[in-house]
């Protein structure tokens, strides 16, 4: 995206998504890059956009987020897997909650839904298509 934006900011960038998701931190880095560039980003789900991939799908330019007819989109809250000493687990849990709150605010901003609606939607695996 950074390269395409540096070549010509007047052309939209098409981001095709087929992913089960992955690292929240990596996904937020992609989101930050999408916000940083001047080019319009059109996101298209052409298979599965689950977990963090659904967040990237929602981060596309308003009105330019597409899901093909046979694609599936799934959202849920961030998951953790902390192990170790009690204090380490406490620190990790606080980080997961901080990240969840940030993602909820961003989803709300991107979709126009309230924070309460987003929290309800993210409570469990939620297939939107």
So which residues are the catalytic ones?
A: 51, 76
* C-alpha–C-alpha distance, residues 85 and 121, integer Å: 32
Task: Please choose, from the candidates 66, 64, 5, 2, the residue with its C-alpha nearest in 3D space to the C-alpha of residue 29.
Answer: 2
- Look-up: residue for tokens 């087929």? 18
């Amino acid at each position: 995206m950074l390269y395409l934006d540096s070549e010509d900011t007047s052309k939209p960038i098409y981001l095709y998504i087929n992913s089960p998701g992955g690292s929240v931190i990596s996904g937020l880095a992609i989101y930050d890059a999408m916000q940083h560039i001047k080019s319009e980003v059109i996101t298209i789900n052409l298979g599965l956009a689950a977990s963090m991939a659904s967040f990237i799908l929602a981060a596309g330019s308003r009105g330019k987020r597409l899901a093909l007819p046979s694609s599936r989109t799934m959202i849920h809250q961030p998951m953790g897997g902390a192990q170790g000493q009690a204090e380490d687990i406490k620190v990790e849990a606080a980080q997961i909650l901080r990240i969840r709150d940030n993602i909820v605010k961003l989803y709300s901003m991107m979709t126009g839904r309230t924070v309460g609606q987003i929290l309800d939607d993210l409570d469990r695996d939620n297939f939107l298509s």
